[in-house]
Structure 1
C-alpha cells in the first residue's frame, strides 16, 4: 500500500529537461517572499530571473484518506483526470495545448493532501495558469478518458495485487488501523475503482479544491505584482472553504505483533513500524539525526549490521512518516526464507540498543555533516524548491525557517539524542508483516483479511 504518493503527470518532460538542470546558485541562498494577492490569496515566492521559467506547486487538504468507504481510489482517479479535458477543450485538445505551448501540468493524490504542479515558459504563463484554472474548476470527466484512465489504474492494481510487497504493506496498515481510512488501500482496489462515478469525482474536486486549505509555492521568472494578478485569476473562483467533516481518530491497534502471510516465494518481504513523533515536536531535529544514523543508507546501523556484517539482504530501509492523524516510523526488508527470523530479531535488537545507549559521538558528527551538506543539493532546481515552499507552509514553519535550520541541527547534543532515542525507538512496539515462507518465525495473530 502506498502511503506517500499516487501521481499521474501530463508533462513534456524532454523539453523541460534542459531547462530544469541543476542550479547550484539557487541552492546557495534562497530568499523567500510572502506574496498576498489583491484578493487575499497567499503564496511563497522565490524570484529567479536567470531563466524564463515559472514553476508552481499547490497543495490542498484532503487526499486518499478522505475517499468514501467502498470507493477507495477516488482521489487517485480524480487526479488522473483533471488534465484530460477541461472547459471548451476535450482530452486531445487540452493535451495538445499543453504540448504545443511546452506547459507541464500534473495532479497527484497523497494520503492526506491533493496537489497540483505547473511548469511553464514565462511567455506562455497566461495560458498556462488559465489551463490550470480550467482543470481545477471546469474538468470535463468525459466518458472516453474516464474509462481509459480507469482501465489503466485497474490494470496496475491487478498487476500489483499479488506482489509480496503490496500484500505485506496492506496487511500492516489494515492491522494497524482497522477502523480508520489509513487501514484501506490508498490506491483502491480493482473493485472499488470500478465503483467510482463521474459525479463522485466532480464532488471530490468541489470539496477538496478550495482556497481555505490552499498552500502555494512559486519559483522563477515572475515578480510579486504579476504573481498576485495571476493568483486571483487562477484560484479566485475556487470555493472559500471545504465542507467540514467529523475527523475519525487514528488509533493504532497493532502494537508489537507479527503477522505472517504464506506465499510461495524464495524471499520473504517484511514491513515493520510503530508510532513516531509529531511534526511540531520540540525533538524533531533530534529525531531526524537519529533516523539518519539508524537508516540513512550505507554506514547506517541497519545497513551495517544486517547487510554488511551478515549479508542478510541487499537493502533495508526505515523512515519517518508524518501523516495528518498519525505519526509513524516505518521500514522494510527482504531476505531468504530461512533468514527471516534472524533478520526480525536483529531489527528489534538494533532498535533496542539505540534506545538504551543512544548514538556515538562519531555517528552524531557524521550524521550532522551529511544532513547539513546534502540538504542544499536537494534544492538545485525549481521544482523541489517550489515543493519545499509548500511543505514549509503545510507544516507551519516560519518563512525564515531555512535561515536557521543548520544551526538548529548543530545545536542538538549527544545527550539530547540519547534522551530522544528512548522515546523514538520502541522495540517492544514494532509490528512486523511478513509475506513468504519464513522459517522459525511464529505469527502472534492472524493476518487481517484484505478489503475489496
Structure 2
C-alpha cells in the first residue's frame, strides 16, 4: 500500500505551496445518493485504496459504570460479523489482502480500511458486515476483556504508563477526560454483551460520519461503495460533547513512588486549541522549546549541556474540549529534580525573552516541509484528509499551510509564550524514587 513517488512529490509541492502545485492535489468532495460526504484524492499510480473515517463520540462519553466499553466495542467489531465468527472473519480479510480496523480516542470512534483495487468489493463488504452485523460473541468478549485487564495491570508496572495516566487524572480531575480510556477492571468485568451492543448502536450513526479516501477509484464508484458500507446505519443523535475543560487554578506536583533507578517526569500546561488564531505560533514555539529534537532548547540545556537525561521533548495535544502543552523527560532519581529545574528555567526564559529570529526562521523552515515527509502511504494521506475535516479545515488548507506558517511573527510567539508558559499553571508528575521532590499538598 506504499505510495509511488508521483503522489508524494505532488503533496510535497502542495505543502510547500510551490506555484506549480496549484492543482497538484485535487481534493474532491464526493456526495453519495444517501447524502454521505467524503473527501477523495484520486491516484491511479497504484491499484489500491485507503479509507479513513470516524464517528462522533469517544471514550470520554462512556456511560457511568461502563468505562472501557467504547475501546472494547471497537476491538470487537472485527472479531466476527454476520455468519463469520472471529477466526473466519480474520481469515477472509487475509485471503482478500484487506486491512480493516477500528480504534477509539477520547472524542471519536475511528476506523480504517486498506484494500487493493481488485478486492475493494470484498473490502467494503467486510466493512459493511463489521458495522452492521457485529457478532459480539461471548468467547471474543471474554478474550478481549481479559487482554485489556492484563494490559491495565501491566501498565501499572511501567513508569511511563503510570506517569501518562497520572497526568491525565490530575490535569483533568473531575472532567470526563480524566478517565482511563481502557476502563477499570471492575467496570470491564461488569460489561455484558447487551451493553456493548447498546454502545455500538449509540455511536455507529450515519449522520455523524467523517470520511476520507485516497486511491485508484472514480468518485461515482466511491459513492456507491460508501453507501453500501455505511448506508444501513441508522440516523440518530450522537453523544453530547463533554463540558469545556477549566485548567487547574494552581500548579501541582504529584509523586508516584516506584522502585526504579530512573524517574520519569511529565510537565503539563494549558495549550492552544486547533482553531485558535495562535495555532501556528504555537507550533513554532513548541518546536523551539522541545519539539524540534536536537535543535530544541530543552535538548540543548538538559541533555547536551548538562547530561541530565537521554531525551527530553515537548508536544502539543488537542482534544475537542481541551488542549495541553506536555514536556517529558527521565533522569536518574538523584538528578531528576535538577532536570525539572532546568526545564522550568527554560520555560521562564522563553516566556521572558521569546525566541531569537534565527530560532523562528529555523522552526518555520522545518514546519513548512515536515508534513510532506510523513505522507509516505495512502493510509497516512487519508488520515491527514480525515483530520483536516475533523478540524474544520477547508480542502485548500494544504496549499495555504506554508503561507500561514510564514506569516508567524516573532512577536506572535513572544506573546503566546507570555500567555501560556506560566509557573502557576504547571502540573508536574514524577514516577520513581525522586530525590528532593515531594507531592504538593
Under TM normalisation by the shorter chain, which class is it? over 0.9
Residue 19 of structure 2 corresponds to residue 24 of structure 1:
no
The offset of 1:53, in angstroms, is 0.3
- From 77, 96, 100, the equivalent of 1:101 is 96
Please, which of 360, 364, 367 is the counterpart of residue 368 of structure 1? 364
Structure 2 CA distance for partners of 1:380 and 1:247, relative to 1, 3 Å: closer
* Residue pairs, 1:49-448, within 5 angstroms: 49-245=44-240, 247-253=242-248, 255-295=250-290, 296-445=292-441
Distance 1:277 1:24 in 2: 30
> What's the secondary structure of 1:379's corresponding residue?
coil
Counterpart CA distance in 1 for 2:419 and 2:83 is 56
CA distance in 2, matches of 1:409, 1:248: 31
Task: Summarize deviations over 1:374-411 as a string: whole Å, max 9, x none.
Answer: 21111122111100111001001011111110011011
Give the distance between the partners of 2:224 and 2:422, measured in 1 at CA.
51
> 2:49 touches 2:115 (CA, 8 Å); kept in 1?
yes
Shift of 1:416: 1.9
- C-alpha RMSD of the superposition: 1.7
User: By how many angstroms is 1:294 displaced?
Assistant: 0.9
The TM-score with structure 1 as length reference comes to: 0.91
What residue is the counterpart of 1:12 in the other structure?
A: none
Distance 2:92 2:332 in 1: 51
Q: Could you tell me how far apart the structure 1 residues matched to 2:77 and 2:171 are?
A: 33
Report if the CA contact (8 A) 2:176-2:242 is conserved.
Answer: no
2:61–2:242 CA contact under 8 A, matched in 1: no
**CA distance in structure 1 between the partners assigned to 2:185 and 2:242 by the alignment:** 27
* Unaligned 5+ runs, structure 2: 13-23
Distance apart, 1:78 and its partner CA: 0.9
- Partner Cα distance (1:106, 1:20) in 2: 20
User: TM-score with structure 2 length normalisation?
Assistant: 0.93
CA drift at 1:274: 1.6
SS at match of 2:80: coil
Residues paired across the two proteins, number: 428
Match of 1:6 in 2: none
Q: Give the secondary-structure state (helix, strand or coil) at the position aligned to 1:310.
A: coil
CA distance in 1, matches of 2:321, 2:159: 27
Q: Counterpart of 1:338 in 2: which secondary structure? A: coil
Shift of 1:208: 0.9
In 1, Cα distance between the equivalents of 2:219 and 2:232?
A: 20
**Stretch deviating more after TM superposition (420-429 or 137-146):** 420-429
Give me the whole-angstrom Cα distance separating, in 1, the residues matched to 2:80 and 2:241: 33
Write out per-residue CA displacement over residues 277-328 of structure 1, whole angstroms, 9 at most, x where no aligned residue.
Answer: 2111111111111111111211101111111111111111211111111111
Q: SS of 1:279's equivalent?
A: coil
1 CA distance for matches of 2:63 and 2:366?
A: 42
1:211 CA displacement: 2.0
> What is the deviation of 1:189?
2.8
Contact 2:57 2:240 in 1 (8 A): no
In the alignment, which residue of structure 1 is the partner of 2:21? Answer: none
Structure 2 CA distance for aligned equivalents of residues 119 and 230 of structure 1? 14
SS in 2 for 1:237: coil
- The gaps in structure 1 that reach 5 residues or longer are 1-15, 446-452
